[in-house]
Structure 1
Amino acid sequence: MIEQRKPAPPSFLVPVPLAGAHVALEPLSPDHVPGLIEAVKDGELWNTWYTRIPSPDGMAHEVEARLARQAAGSVVPWAIRRTDTGALCGMTTYLNVRAENRRLEIGSTWLAASAQRTPINTEAKLLLLTRAFEDLDCIAVEFRTHWHNHQSRAAIARLGAKQDGVLRNHEIWRDGTLRDTVVFSIIKSEWPTVRLALASRLARS
């Protein structure tokens, strides 16, 4: 019997819209800049020293840079819109896309202060993970964060990701300090349980 091969997955680099009850992920475009400027002002997020969140003045450049990296074939960026108010509330991105190994990273994510500790991040991650594992047939999805970003580390762990390790002195940070990068991942065999847990959390929200 000849084994039938699965059809090739859609391109990893096609930015498709993703939508749920609480959030819509829209393929990033320059049209999002004004709304993202207002979103990043909510909490003055760019002042957090252990993150790389763009300032209002730097937002247009950040959007341009992410779109340039998308055109180069390494990332897929989205703007995050909350469905209750219709306002933009952040950004997220598929990073380090390696279609040949069916792996990618979810990162460069930020949310306005008013969108944090709401169902928005949980549902956004559920949408991104569903596309990665079920549409793109990924074997692993990675998350990375600064060692000192304890809020991010806790949020990643709550998704069901497991810590793989710490890359010591991984990057020279913008102020000259050295960043230790904490690496987490979810692998394909874990996805059904992770999906159930995230769906259950959303149902209770």
Structure 2
Amino acid sequence: MNFFPVIENKRVLLEPLQPAHLEALLPIALQPALWTVGALHIDSRAGLEQYIANALAERTAQTSIPFVVTDKKEQRIAGCTRYSGIALAHKRSEIGYTWIDTALQGSGLNKAMKFAMLQYAFEVMDLNRIEFKTDELNTQSRNAILSIGCTQEGILRHHMITSKGRVRNTVYFSMLKEEWPEVKQRVFGKYDF
């Protein structure tokens, strides 16, 4: 499996995350609105350095494929995302750790990115299942996941402790390989990605 893929469509470019991306990502990562709900909280240069180091260590361990996200329309770096929890023996992965500049939220960038990642996961990586999870309190994320055709599977109670110490309930969603052709047409067919 390629742990350094480049994935793109007309709107988004996903390139392997590297330490050199720190400077471009820092002003985005320091937007407090990105971290109001969720397990992560980046509030310093050191915090972003640690985030990148952790992502790269997971790539080395072949459990994640982290990306820097470039908005091709705006011609600038917009944030991060990754395939995580990769279980090749079971042909599954999660799409997560997504954070995008607040100025670009609602612009269609996230939908273009999820389309590119789902298409690559099912059509190139040949995975059977993609998972998404989010904080029960993150209504924006829950709605976004449902809007791309995923199925809510359930809520894991007291699943995680956030960086702020709150005990979090986590909502799980998934999409299966058999569902992808219909979702690709019904959900994404109206877009010109």
Query: Does the alignment reach a TM-score above 0.5?
Result: yes
Verify the 8 A CA contact 1:164 1:184 in the aligned structure 2: yes
Verify the 8 A CA contact 1:45 1:53 in the aligned structure 2: no
Secondary structure in structure 2 of the residue aligned to 1:80? strand
Secondary structure in structure 2 of the residue aligned to 1:186? strand
* TM-score calculated relative to the size of structure 1: 0.88
Verify the 8 A CA contact 2:39 2:160 in the aligned structure 1: no
Q: CA deviation at 1:46?
A: 4.6
Query: Cα deviation per residue 1:111-158 (whole Å; 9 max; x = unaligned)?
Result: 111111012111111111111101111111000000000000000000
- For 2:164, the equivalent position in structure 1 comes to 175
Select 1:144's aligned residue among 114, 123, 133: 133
Select 2:142's aligned residue among 153, 156, 164: 153
Select 1:61's aligned residue among 43, 46, 50: 50
Verify the 8 A CA contact 1:142 1:186 in the aligned structure 2: yes
Q: Unaligned stretches of 5+ in structure 1? A: 1-10
Q: CA deviation at 1:168?
A: 0.6
Secondary structure in structure 2 of the residue aligned to 1:54? coil
Verify the 8 A CA contact 1:45 1:112 in the aligned structure 2: no
Letter of the 1:79 partner, please give it: V
* TM-score calculated relative to the size of structure 2: 0.93
Secondary structure in structure 2 of the residue aligned to 1:167? strand
- Give matches, 1:71-150, under 5 Å: 71-150=60-139
- For 2:175, the equivalent position in structure 1 comes to 186
CA 172–189 in structure 1, closer or farther in 2 if over 3 Å, else same: same
Q: CA deviation at 1:34?
A: 0.6
2:169 counterpart of 1:164:
no
Select 1:39's aligned residue among 18, 23, 28: 28
Letter of the 1:132 partner, please give it: A
Select 1:48's aligned residue among 30, 33, 36: 36
Letter of the 1:183 partner, please give it: Y
CA distance in 2 between counterparts of 1:166 and 1:99 reads 25
Matched residues, percent identical? 30
Query: Cα deviation per residue 1:26-55 (whole Å; 9 max; x = unaligned)?
Result: 1100111111112234x4335414341423
2:188 counterpart of 1:199:
yes
CA distance in 2 between counterparts of 1:53 and 1:118 reads 23
Query: Cα deviation per residue 1:72-126 (whole Å; 9 max; x = unaligned)?
Result: 1211100000112321111001111000110000001111111110121111111
